[in-house]
Amino acid sequence: MLEGKVIRVGNSAAISISKKDLEKNRLKFNQRVKFSVIKPRQKEALLELLGSAKGTKPFKREEEDREF
- Full-prediction pTM beyond 0.95? no
**What are the distances in angstroms from CA 59 to CA 2, 18, 51, 55?**
31, 38, 16, 12
Give the model's pLDDT for residue 62: 73
DSSP 17-63: --HHHHHHTT--TT---------HHHHHHHHHHHTTTTTPPPP--SS
pLDDT at 55: 66
Would you write out the chain's pLDDT as a tens digit for each of its 68 residues?
A: 788 899 999 999 999 999 999 999 999 999 998 888 777 777 677 777 776 666 666 667 677 776 65
pLDDT of residue 60: 72
